[in-house]
Amino acid sequence: MTRSAPPTAAGRRYRVAVVPAGTWGTALALVLADNGHEVRLWHRDAGVVAGINRERVNPRHLTEVRLPENVTATTSLAAAVVDADMVVLVPASAAFRELAAQLAPLLTPHQLLLSATKGLEPDTHRRMSQLLAAYVPDVAERTAVLSGPNFAVEVARRLPTSTVIAAERRQVAELFQTLFFNPNFRVYINPDVIGVELAGSLKNVLAIGVGMAHGYGLGFNTAAAIITRGIAEITRLGLALGAHPLTFAGLAGLGDIVLTCTSDLSRNRRAGVLLGQGKRLVEILEQRSMTVEGVRTAKAAFELAQRLDCEVPIIEQIYRVLYEGKPIAAAVRCLMERTQKPEIEAAFLDGLQEIDFQQW
């Protein structure tokens, strides 16, 4: 593929495909539309498409939000992306591989791609950009990822929000930054694709753990410990994969972890609360109208850590509660009775010196 040189986004209108038109996709479409871009939403359901095109409302997601005229919808994936300058992928992580396979033959070499999906594939332990790369040749140089403390409903209400976009090529990151940036949606850029994706995925696992602690009545001290030491585990795993430790102190790391672990809007936290109250996981998943991403990600994260020989005791205990039915009290006891350790590990400090962001 010939290396493309995308123009700057400032002052230019772009055609952007957003697939699919779920809750997060609809919210991001609204941000893009507010910035004057032509947005095409894709959804399999003809009723959803008709509602967007005729009533200017997505009848299934964010139903209280009116969509402007520069947002249109289609049931045809090919029609959505045919002459788009950029394609934004926002499926649930479980559907990402299928969508990537469907999209691959429809894409041109000059279209830029943005993944806004958080998760790891359970069997392969791959991040979403890695799944995309499996179907689209030489995709890394024109792909970015978006993550951060971003509840879709608050973005759609135009409440002040910050996010981070990471890409291997700075020009691609800056283009997407300008594409989305507006007074309600502040965008930062970062060269650490691995760290941004990993943090955005694993925060859902911690949110389930914090929710379990709350539902079980363990108090705020326990929640704070899960968040803080959970960040240490995610950082440790990130370093093993080549991420930069500072990413986990930023929006995709600390910011998203605090949001997802402390807000009742978080479906992962809500699922954890129900588990802590004694509900069975299968019942919780059947009752939830939206995907609880952290359940799948907990399995992938635990297995990935085992493969890398990386110590992640909190993630391990959350996995064992979810998949082995381990009692929460026993999981807490395992964590509290572990061998005494220092808080700051040498590997973290070494990681700060090994990676030079100035080379981006």
Q: Return the active site residues.
A: 203
d(CA 227, CA 152): 22
For residue 327, count other CB atoms closer than 10 A to its CB.
Answer: 11
State both tokens at 215.
Answer: 């539902």
> CA–CA separation, 143 vs 255, rounded Å?
23
Residue 59 tokens, joined: 């009848």
Please report, as a single letter, which amino acid is at residue 30.
L
Dihedral, CA of residue 256, residue 355, residue 119 and residue 121, to nearest 10: -160
199, 234 in Cβ contact below 8 A?
yes
Query: How far apart, in Å, do the first and last CA atoms of the chain sit?
Result: 22
* CA–CA gap between residue 198 and residue 255 (Å, rounded): 14
Q: What sign for the dihedral angle of Cα 48, 51, 56, 61?
A: negative
Give me the half-sphere count of Cα atoms (radius 13 Å) on the Cβ side of residue 14.
Answer: 25
Q: d(Cα 77, Cα 313) in Å, to the nearest integer?
A: 42
Q: What is the DSSP annotation of 65-91?
A: PPPPTTEEEES-HHHHHTT-SEEEE--
